[in-house]
Amino acid sequence: MMRDITIGKYYNQDSLVHQLDCRTKLAGTLLFIIAIFLVNRPVVYIPCLLYILILYKVARIPWSYALKGLKGFALLLLFTFIFRSIITDGREILTVWIFTVTYEGVLKAISLMARIMLMVLSASLLAYTTTPTQMASGLEKSLFFLEKVHVPIREMSMMVSIAFRFIPVFIEEVNIIMDAQASRGVDFHSGSIFRRMGKVMPLVIPLFVSAIRRSADLAMAMEARGYSEASERTKYRPLRYTSKDRIAYVIAIVVFVLLILTRIIL
């Protein structure tokens, strides 16, 4: 069940996008997302989609993989579309009982759907091409100025990277505990929803206990190796911008400006 989730999972590949500094990708994604929310003409979403698809190609991630990640949002997209089309006032296209679909509504619905889709696609591209460790250290460096106002960015980044680090461990753990309880006669795959909810306890309690045990062990191991929040941490792979990053920044900014300009020109 948990083995099939593709959204947000790092996709190992050697590509230009993978080589970029995490901060570049972070900034690029952010700029793009801001831009697609400022765009007010549905037509503009077509070049946006093209831009993202090209980036996927450059990152050498199959489109089918990206599509699989979008599947989880299908229901959300559908509901957005239906509600947007119904609740907007305007010229009437179709009336079913008390619901009226309007021309303006459909247009707005398409825009909104496109926005969500593009946002998910661009954010997943970031996740597919950046390992959680890179992400954490990129965020740490980008937000480091907040340390000046006593926000413990370093510790938070440490916690985030540890949390990421343990996701596969816990997935593995859940699978083992499920197998073990299945060996004691629990059938996780049948019964009504209430009966199934009752079966969660033999799964959740051991998982919690193991999480607590693991964190206590890890804390001790870290202290044993001299970890202290007071000292400055050095990086094994320090983040450094290269010429590729400069080019990527230029592209991201140009795309951003072009998208904003469509508001004025069109």
Partner 1 sequence: MLIEVEKLNYTYASSEKEKVHALKDVSLNIRQGEFVALVGSSGSGKSTFVRHLNGLIKADSGDIRFQGESIYQKKYPISKLRQKVGLVFQYPEHQLFSRSVLADVAFGPRNMGDSKEEAENKAKAALEKVGIGEELFEGSPYELSGGQMRRVAIAGILAMEPEVLVLDEPTAGLDPYVRNQLLNLLKKMQKSGVTILLVSHSMEEVANYADRVVVFNSGRICMDGSPEEVFADKEKIRKAGLEMPQVMEALWQLKEQGIPVHEFTCNEKTAICQIVDIIKKKEA
Q: How many whole angstroms separate alpha carbon 190 and alpha carbon 231?
A: 53
Tell me if residue 13 falls in helix, strand or coil. coil
Q: Which is nearer to partner 1, 183 or 243 (CB)?
A: 183
Q: Which is nearer to partner 1, 47 or 206 (CB)?
A: 206
Bridge-based pairing of strands 92-96 and 99-102 is: antiparallel
Q: Give the footprint of partner 1 on this chain (CB under 8 A).
A: 11-12, 176-177, 179-187, 201-202, 205-206, 209-210
Q: Which is nearer to partner 1, 185 or 238 (CB)?
A: 185
| CB distance 128 to 9 below 8 Å | yes
Q: Which is nearer to partner 1, 51 or 65 (CB)?
A: 65
Q: How far is the CB of 176 from partner 1 (least distance, A)?
A: 7
Q: Where are the beta strands (DSSP E) in the chain?
A: 92-96, 99-102
Q: Which is nearer to partner 1, 95 or 175 (CB)?
A: 175
96: tokens are: 């079913």
Q: How far is the CB of 202 from partner 1 (least distance, A)?
A: 5
Q: How far is the CB of 210 from partner 1 (least distance, A)?
A: 6
| CB distance 164 to 136 below 8 Å | yes
| CB distance 264 to 41 below 8 Å | no
Q: How far is the CB of 173 from partner 1 (least distance, A)?
A: 8
Q: How far is the CB of 61 from partner 1 (least distance, A)?
A: 11
Token pair 């870290």 in the structure block, residue: 222
